[in-house]
Structure 1
C-alpha cells in the first residue's frame, strides 16, 4: 500500500514540510536531500494528495490542450506521437492532462474557458496558422503557454518550439537538384497550416537559386494520410511530363506515394527519387521501406517531451529554458534518391 506524506517523512526522518518542499522543487532543499526523497518516493509508491497540494500551492499540476473535433476531421497519428512525448515527460512529474474537445470555430472560446477554470496551470498550442489569433488571445489571458510550431505574421514575442521546415525542404530540394532533377513534385500538408507553407517556401527557394520555378501543377496539399499520398502521386504520374522526383511532408504520405510508384512499374531511386519528412513514427520507419527512404528527420515525440519539460519547469519554478527554440532537421540520404533519369 502506498504511504502518505506523514509516513514518508517518518521513513526519511525529515519534516513533512521538508519532504513537500523537496517534491515541489524548492531551491532551499539541497540536492542530496531531494535525491533521498525522490528515491523513497520510487521505493514506496508515494503519490501526493493533489487536492491538498492545490490548496497549499494554488497549482493544479495539469497541462491543458484543446483538440478540434468535427465531422470530416481525420484522426492524426502525428499528433498522437507528439502527445506520447508530452505524456512520457508529464508522468515523470506526476502531471495530468486536461483535454478539451472543441468545434474548430469555437477553439478560442474553449481556450478561454479552460484558462478561467483553474483546472490547468499552462496550455500548449499546435497546428499553427498564419496570423494565428490564438497567440494574442493567450497573451492577453496571461496563462503560461508554449507553441508547437510558429505562426506566420502577427506577434513574434511568444514561446515556441519548432522545426526549421523551410531549411529542411530547402536542403532536400537542393540534394535533388544536385542529382540533376528539375521536375520536382511536392505532396504537402494542408495549405492553411504554417509548417506546410514553410516547407513549400523551402522548395521554392532552392529551385529559384537554380534558375527554376515550382510548377504549381506538381503541388498537392492534403491531410497527411497514405491514401492522399497515393492519389497525389498517381495524378502526377498520369501527366505527359511526370516529375522525376517527389518530396513528401510525411512518411505516411510517402507510403501512399510509393504504392502508386510501384503500381506504375517504376523503380524508386532510378526512375523516380523520393524524399520524405520523417517524424520518427515508431510504426513507419523509413529504413524499412522496400527501398529505404531519404528523409529529413525530426522527432515529434522528442518535441512533445521538450514542450512538457518547459511547461512543467515553468510551473514548478525549476530550470531555465530558452523562450524560443528552432530545431534543425537532419538530412539522411538513403537509396530512394539517385541521379535523374538520363543523367
Structure 2
C-alpha cells in the first residue's frame, strides 16, 4: 500500500497523512493516532528519509563498545541485551549504530556521534564507579540511558539496573542456610559498579551471621571460563578450601565446575556453586531442571526496558531522569546442597 491509497482509506489528504506519520507538530493528536493505527493495520511504513527530514532526528541509537579490555562484543550477556533493545528499535523504526573502538577513543566517539548527528541518543554499558562518561554526555547534550549504575556520580542520570547487592546477599544467605561457612566469591572486575555491589551483598550476608569475610576466598577478575577455572583450582587447593562458590556469571561458573570435577568433586554433593545471569537465549542453564542454582534476571528484558526509556527521553527532551531497579529471582538447581561434613 502506498501513501495515496492509505490517505484514500482514511478520507484525508496525502499531505495530512504524511505530516501525521512524519511527526509534524501541526497535526492534532487525534488525527495522528488515527493515522498511525491505520498504518499499522495496513502494514504501511513511511519513508525513513522523510521522517528524518521532518523531525530533524537521525532515527538511530548508538552503542559504543570499547574492545581492548572488556570484551563485551563477544559476551552472551551483551548479546541478549542488544537483542532485547533491538526489538524496541525496530518496532519504532529506529536503527542501531554499533561502534567498536579502542578504550581510549570512547569519549571521542561520543563527541563525534553528537557532532555528526548520527544518533539521537546512546545506551552506556558497564558503568564504573563515578563514571566519567556521565558528565561527558551531559556536557555534549546527547540523550543517554545507563545499563547499570555509577556510584559516586553526583549528576542525575537515567539508569536501569538489577539489584546486584540484594541478589548476592540472598544467594549467600541461601548457602549459609545450607550450613556452608567457607563461601568463596568469584566476582567480576571490581572497578565496575555491579561487582562492587555484589561484593557488598556477599559481605553483608556473612557479617549478619557473625562470619568475617576471608580475603583468601574472594577474587576479582574478568568473567571468563578460564578465570573461573584458575580461581577454582587455586582455592580448592587451599588447606581449608571453600565448600561453596558464588560466581558473578554462568561462564565463570562453568570454569568452577571444571576445576571441581578435575578434583573428583560432584556439584551439589561435594561442592556448591551459585551463578548469576543464567537466563540467556543461546546458553541455557539446563532444560527442565536448572544445572546451576542461580540469581536470575532477564538481560533481554533489561534491553527492552532501557531502549524504551531512551526513546521516551528522545521524544520528550528535558524530562526528569528516570530510573528502574529490577529484582533477581533465586532459582534452585542441581549445583547446591548441604555443606559436606
TM norm structure 1: 0.90
Q: Which residue of structure 2 aligns with residue 82 of structure 1?
A: 81
Contact 1:63 / 1:95 at 8 angstroms: preserved in 2?
Answer: yes
Q: Once the 2 structures are TM-superposed, how far is the Cα of residue 27 of structure 1 from its aligned partner?
A: 3.0
Q: Once the 2 structures are TM-superposed, how far is the Cα of residue 304 of structure 1 from its aligned partner?
A: 0.7
Aligned-partner SS, 1:29: helix
Q: Which residue of structure 2 aligns with residue 60 of structure 1?
A: 58
Judged with a 3 Å threshold, the aligned counterparts in structure 2 of structure 1 residues 53 and 78 are, in CA distance, closer, same or farther, namely: same
Tell me if 1:15 matches 2:4. Answer: no
Q: Which residue of structure 2 aligns with residue 265 of structure 1?
A: 264
Q: Once the 2 structures are TM-superposed, how far is the Cα of residue 301 of structure 1 from its aligned partner?
A: 0.8
Q: Which residue of structure 2 aligns with residue 36 of structure 1?
A: 38
Q: Which residue of structure 2 aligns with residue 139 of structure 1?
A: 138
Q: Which residue of structure 2 aligns with residue 122 of structure 1?
A: 121
Stretches of 4+ aligned residues off by more than 6 angstroms: none
Query: In structure 2, what is the Cα distance between the partners aligned to 1:277 and 1:148?
Result: 16
Aligned-partner SS, 1:119: coil
Q: Which residue of structure 2 aligns with residue 305 of structure 1?
A: 304
Query: In structure 1, what is the Cα distance between the partners aligned to 2:311 and 2:284?
Result: 30
Q: Once the 2 structures are TM-superposed, how far is the Cα of residue 79 of structure 1 from its aligned partner?
A: 1.1
Judged with a 3 Å threshold, the aligned counterparts in structure 2 of structure 1 residues 30 and 176 are, in CA distance, closer, same or farther, namely: same
Q: Which residue of structure 2 aligns with residue 337 of structure 1?
A: 336
Matched ranges for 1:81-120 at <5 A: 81-120=80-119
Judged with a 3 Å threshold, the aligned counterparts in structure 2 of structure 1 residues 17 and 176 are, in CA distance, closer, same or farther, namely: farther
Q: Once the 2 structures are TM-superposed, how far is the Cα of residue 322 of structure 1 from its aligned partner?
A: 7.5
Query: In structure 2, what is the Cα distance between the partners aligned to 1:310 and 1:298?
Result: 18
Query: In structure 1, what is the Cα distance between the partners aligned to 2:155 and 2:272?
Result: 37
Equivalent residues, number: 335
Query: In structure 2, what is the Cα distance between the partners aligned to 1:311 and 1:152?
Result: 21
Q: Which residue of structure 2 aligns with residue 70 of structure 1?
A: 68
Give the counterpart of 2:46 among 24, 34, 48: 48
Q: Once the 2 structures are TM-superposed, how far is the Cα of residue 223 of structure 1 from its aligned partner?
A: 2.0
Q: Which residue of structure 1 aligns with residue 295 of structure 2?
A: 296
Query: In structure 2, what is the Cα distance between the partners aligned to 1:81 and 1:321?
Result: 28
Query: In structure 2, what is the Cα distance between the partners aligned to 1:87 and 1:172?
Result: 31
Superimposed CA distance per residue, residues 252-310 of structure 1 (whole angstroms, 9 cap, x where no aligned partner): 11112112212211121121111110241122222349972111110111111111111
Q: Once the 2 structures are TM-superposed, how far is the Cα of residue 7 of structure 1 from its aligned partner?
A: 4.2
Q: Which residue of structure 1 aligns with residue 172 of structure 2?
A: 173
Superimposed CA distance per residue, residues 122-146 of structure 1 (whole angstroms, 9 cap, x where no aligned partner): 1110110011011011112222111
Aligned-partner SS, 2:330: strand
Runs of 5+ consecutive residues of structure 2 not aligned to the other structure = none
Query: In structure 2, what is the Cα distance between the partners aligned to 1:198 and 1:156?
Result: 20
Contact 1:98 / 1:120 at 8 angstroms: preserved in 2?
Answer: yes
Q: Once the 2 structures are TM-superposed, how far is the Cα of residue 97 of structure 1 from its aligned partner?
A: 1.1
Query: In structure 2, what is the Cα distance between the partners aligned to 1:99 and 1:135?
Result: 19
Judged with a 3 Å threshold, the aligned counterparts in structure 2 of structure 1 residues 290 and 235 are, in CA distance, closer, same or farther, namely: farther
Judged with a 3 Å threshold, the aligned counterparts in structure 2 of structure 1 residues 237 and 288 are, in CA distance, closer, same or farther, namely: farther
Query: In structure 2, what is the Cα distance between the partners aligned to 1:251 and 1:289?
Result: 17
Judged with a 3 Å threshold, the aligned counterparts in structure 2 of structure 1 residues 290 and 252 are, in CA distance, closer, same or farther, namely: farther
Query: In structure 2, what is the Cα distance between the partners aligned to 1:290 and 1:333?
Result: 9
Query: In structure 1, what is the Cα distance between the partners aligned to 2:297 and 2:262?
Result: 30
Q: Which residue of structure 2 aligns with residue 212 of structure 1?
A: 211
Contact 1:279 / 1:300 at 8 angstroms: preserved in 2?
Answer: no
Matched ranges for 1:139-288 at <5 A: 139-288=138-287
With 198-207 and 70-79 compared, the bigger mean Cα shift is at 70-79
Query: In structure 2, what is the Cα distance between the partners aligned to 1:48 and 1:263?
Result: 59
Contact 2:290 / 2:332 at 8 angstroms: preserved in 1?
Answer: no
Q: Once the 2 structures are TM-superposed, how far is the Cα of residue 88 of structure 1 from its aligned partner?
A: 1.5
Contact 1:136 / 1:155 at 8 angstroms: preserved in 2?
Answer: no
Aligned-partner SS, 1:28: helix
With 146-155 and 304-313 compared, the bigger mean Cα shift is at 304-313
Cα-Cα RMSD: 2.4
Query: In structure 2, what is the Cα distance between the partners aligned to 1:291 and 1:140?
Result: 46
